[in-house]
């Protein structure tokens, strides 16, 4: 792996990512190793990430770079050193997901592309290699990351238009775009992206509604200024900074019980997650594994200052629930889950999204059947 010519490693990675010939060629012209810093956090899918320093462990570094896995390059927005950080805030994404999103973009060399989230610059490099850097504009909110990406791209001989700014606002100075490629998770789709894409254009993004896994989303911009699309495969990405929200768990709580095993909701199919996300607006959910196989499922809505937690305890037939705030989030989640059951337990392939000036709307089977 430490050989100076990594072409075989790039081809193996392109195979793992199911890259088309065009994207395989782009992966050679914008090799991943040119965009990965010397100190990274990486690890197998089944295990914890570890610090890898290229100077101390060159073989481990090259192996991580040319494995189909994400590589963490920043924690806590750069305020903390990698091994000490709490929150992952930038990465070089998993190659198979990167290529999957690029294929969904259906890009051609006459298209002008706006990328939201430059990060290390690797995806901007792949786009530039594929369609010409004069067609690529990439926005990064973090000036330190933007500077590093500039160095990475110039080192690879690529020169897209790089902007430091809030990607949620897009880049109105150079509209219209034919494609918008988003490399960070979003809870809602900024309407600026739709406005700045010409009719017939495509927006691809990781949609992270707050409950369950994130989803690949492909939106097609319509002449009336709306965008329509279907929910696709799983895709978990770090959130757009403008859409991060702190969780709320303050105040006194009430205690009740439920006969429903909390894991039924916490581990529900993706179709149920979508229904709960649509019917519990503003809510984020996550689970926490405790000792002795005890599992908590948390729900939080900072907007209404409400929260709930249901606890699975092995061997019990009823489970404790704690709640606070004007919204009874556990009951809302129960109702949403069983409403999804009453619809026939639809899978993700039956859901779609419409984005308008007044927000994002989830529907089933067709835009006329709006859920929320």
What residues act catalytically? 93
Q: At 191, is the secondary structure helix, strand, or coil?
A: helix
Q: At 201, is the secondary structure helix, strand, or coil?
A: strand
Rama region for 103: left / alpha / beta (φ>0; ψ in -120 to 50; rest): alpha
Query: How far, in Å, CA of 362 to CA of 339, rounded?
Result: 15
Query: How far, in Å, CA of 268 to CA of 81, rounded?
Result: 36
| Tokens found for residue 348 | 């993700």
Q: If you compute the radius of gyration of the chain from its CA atoms, what whole number of angstroms results?
A: 22
Sign of CA dihedral 163, 193, 115, 92: positive
Query: How far, in Å, CA of 368 to CA of 297, rounded?
Result: 33
Torsion angle (degrees, nearest 10) of CA 260, 262, 264, 270: 140
Query: How far, in Å, CA of 296 to CA of 261, rounded?
Result: 11
- The DSSP secondary structure of 41-107, one letter per residue, reads EE--TTS--EEEETTT-HHHHHHHHTSSS-EEEEEGGGTS-GGG-SSEEEEE--HHHHHHHHHHHT-
Query: How far, in Å, CA of 8 to CA of 20, rounded?
Result: 16
């Amino acid at each position: 792996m430490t050989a100076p010519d990594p072409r075989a490693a790039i081809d193996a990675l392109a195979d793992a990512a199911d890259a088309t010939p065009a994207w395989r060629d782009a992966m050679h012209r914008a090799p991943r190793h040119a965009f990965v810093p010397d100190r990274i956090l990486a690890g197998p899918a089944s295990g914890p990430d570890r610090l890898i320093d290229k100077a101390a462990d060159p073989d481990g570094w090259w192996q991580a770079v040319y494995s189909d896995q994400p590589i963490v390059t920043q924690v806590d927005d750069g305020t903390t050193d990698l091994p000490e950080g709490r929150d992952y805030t930038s990465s070089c994404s998993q190659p198979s997901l990167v290529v999957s999103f690029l294929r969904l973009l259906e890009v051609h060399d006459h298209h002008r592309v706006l990328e939201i989230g430059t990060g290390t610059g690797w995806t901007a490099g792949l786009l530039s290699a594929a369609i010409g850097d004069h067609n690529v504009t990439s926005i990064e909110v973090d000036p330190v990351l933007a500077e590093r990406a500039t160095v990475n791209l110039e080192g690879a001989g690529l020169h897209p238009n790089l902007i430091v700014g809030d990607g949620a606002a897009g880049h109105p100075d150079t509209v219209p775009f034919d494609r918008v490629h988003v490399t960070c998770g979003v809870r809602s789709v900024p309407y600026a992206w739709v406005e700045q894409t010409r009719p017939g254009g495509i927006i691809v993004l990781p949609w992270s509604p707050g409950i369950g896994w994130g989803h690949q989303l492909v939106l097609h911009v319509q002449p009336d200024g709306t965008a329509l699309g279907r929910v696709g495969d799983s895709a978990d990405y770090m959130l757009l900074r403008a859409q991060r929200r702190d969780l709320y768990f303050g105040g006194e709580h009430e205690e009740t019980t439920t006969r429903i095993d909390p894991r039924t909701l916490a581990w529900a199919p993706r179709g149920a997650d979508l229904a709960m996300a649509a019917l519990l607006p503003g809510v984020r959910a996550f689970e926490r594994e405790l000792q002795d196989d005890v599992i908590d499922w948390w729900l939080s809505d900072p907007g209404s200052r409400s929260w709930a937690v249901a606890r699975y305890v092995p061997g019990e037939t009823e489970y404790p629930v704690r709640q606070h705030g004007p919204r009874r989030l556990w009951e809302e989640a129960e109702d949403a889950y069983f409403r999804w059951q009453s619809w026939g337990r639809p899978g993700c392939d039956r859901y779609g999204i419409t984005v308008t000036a007044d927000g994002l709307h989830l529907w089933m089977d067709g835009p006329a059947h709006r859920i929320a």
